[in-house]
Chain A
Amino acid sequence: MSDPKIDEALRSMLPRLRRFALWLARDEHAADDLVQSTIERALSKWHARRDDESLRAWLFSILYRLFLDGKRRSGRYARLLSMLGREEPTWPSAERVAVAHSTLAAFASLPVEQRSLLIWITVEGMSYQEVADILEVPIGTVMSRLSRARRALRRLGEGVPETPALRLLK
Chain B
Amino acid sequence: MVKIVKGAITLLLGLGLTFSAVYAGGNSAWWKKAGAPYKGAVLQGIAENTPPGQFAGEVLAKEFESLTGIKVRLENTSWDQMYDKAIKDMEANSGIYDFVYIEQDIVYSYLDRDFLVNITQSLADNPNLVAPHVNMNDFTTFIDYFKDAKGDVFGIPMEAFLKVYLYRKDLFGAADAKSGFQKKFGYALAPATSFAQWRDNAEFFTAYCAEKGMECWGTTVQGHTGHPASTYEFLESVGPSFGLYNWGVTDDFHSCVAGGGSLNGGRAKGALSFWTSMLEFAPPEALQSTWSEVASTFAAGRAAQGWVYGENAAWIASNKEKSLVVGKVGVMQPPTGPGVLTQAASGNGYIGYFDGGAYGIPHSSKNKEATLLWLQFVAQSEVQADWAAAGGRITHYSTYNDPKIKEMDQVADGYFTLMQNTGYLYAGAPMFPFHGAGRAAIDPFIYAALAGEKSPSEALDGACKALDKVMKDLGYQK
Q: Do A and B bind each other?
A: no
Q: Which residues of A contact B (CB under 8 A)?
A: none
